[in-house]
Structure 1
């Protein structure tokens, strides 16, 4: 097996694993929160954000991970021009939603743990009150921001000649008429992402500072068991949010370092392109796993499902005897 065949096999295996994890995991998270909504009649603010985040990650997996996996296995001509426009548009929109919702989640958690004297304290009631308006604005903002993708995406070129200033996704192409359009489009995307990254990093740093001060105060004061229990739940939620932000920043770093490099060359090596796409979609698999492990409502659904499976297995075994 030569180097090219090895790269294709590894690429196919990597994207297949990502797809096999991200789609069922995100569906499970969405269903868990929807079941909670039906049984309890409401969802907490953070849970609503997580539910939309899981949906956004699910859509990224459907419109990017699946085509990328099929392309890795040698599938060609999956889309016509209209199909490419919609697939890439949906990927950009839901990827943008993924980063903006993660930013919203870290901001809300920072507000939630902030002391009553903090300048963030007034937002504790404002964010839940206007949450659906904020999420709607994020959807609209990302749709408008990436509408130019509908003009620049194609399935193929005459004579199979790929022009300059084109991103080859291997199942579709994003092409720009001039170098100025190529650079400006890339830098606009990069800095819009960077704005959210910086904000969520600042909020995560603030959360860590508050948790550190809170830990010192708890060690010096005796608290009731109920207040300790509430504090522990808040700390666990905060740590989960900080974990998500840290992972996103890591994946964002690798993705965008390669993306910035691709803006400086006429042809990007396929290996670098594959690595970039892998890290661009990796969050869709890791995020729901973190939520399943750390979120109490989702963990309860996981335990209930295990108990049902074990009960069915035991019942089947008994009847067979």
Structure 2
């Protein structure tokens, strides 16, 4: 293994470890607030889902990249590779969906009271949990685009 490959592997390792630690600390913070009975803000639910989605992406993409870069030969089986790919797709989709949902919610929140979105300010917090659950469901049930072309009709 060359020193360049080792350096790239170490960068991937540090990036993944710090990302996992950061997401784990955020998730721990939100779980601590939940179990102590503190009142959470409306955006906290979206941020929890975003944290879990990012955590899935880090583990499903970071660990295999580290393994490949550092020269480990023991890769998962065919089922393991498909599972890792599925978790990456779901995590990436949920991260993107949660980010969009957070942006929409914040746009509604900062809109002026006399705008067309004024009535949405009252309704939006009620639909956050439904929207995040729907986001998870849609990305978990979405078909794999690489398998659609190989199916025979």
TM-score normalised by structure 1 residue count: 0.44
**Aligned equivalent of 1:10:** 7
Instruction: Give the distance between the partners of 2:12 and 2:119, measured in 1 at CA.
Output: 44
Offset of residue 149 of structure 1: 5.9
1:148 has 2:141 as partner = no
**Aligned equivalent of 1:122:** 119
1:21 has 2:18 as partner = yes
Which runs of 5 or more residues in structure 2 are unaligned? none
Matches within 5 A, 1:41-190: 41-145=38-142, 147-148=143-144, 151=147, 177=150
Greater mean alpha carbon deviation, residues 70-79 or residues 128-137: 70-79
Quickly say closer, same or farther: Cα 1:81–1:151, change in 2 above 3 A. farther
Kept in 1: contact 2:45–2:129 (CA 8 A):
no
Instruction: Give the distance between the partners of 2:69 and 2:116, measured in 1 at CA.
Output: 50
CA deviation map 1:24-44 (0-9, x unaligned): 110100110111112234321
- Structure 1 segments of 4+ aligned residues over 6 angstroms from their partners: none
Matches within 5 A, 1:265-276: none
Offset of residue 10 of structure 1: 3.1
Kept in 2: contact 1:85–1:149 (CA 8 A):
no
RMSD of aligned C-alpha atoms?
2.2
1:40 has 2:37 as partner = yes
**Aligned equivalent of 1:308:** none
Instruction: Give the distance between the partners of 1:151 and 1:67, measured in 2 at CA.
Output: 21
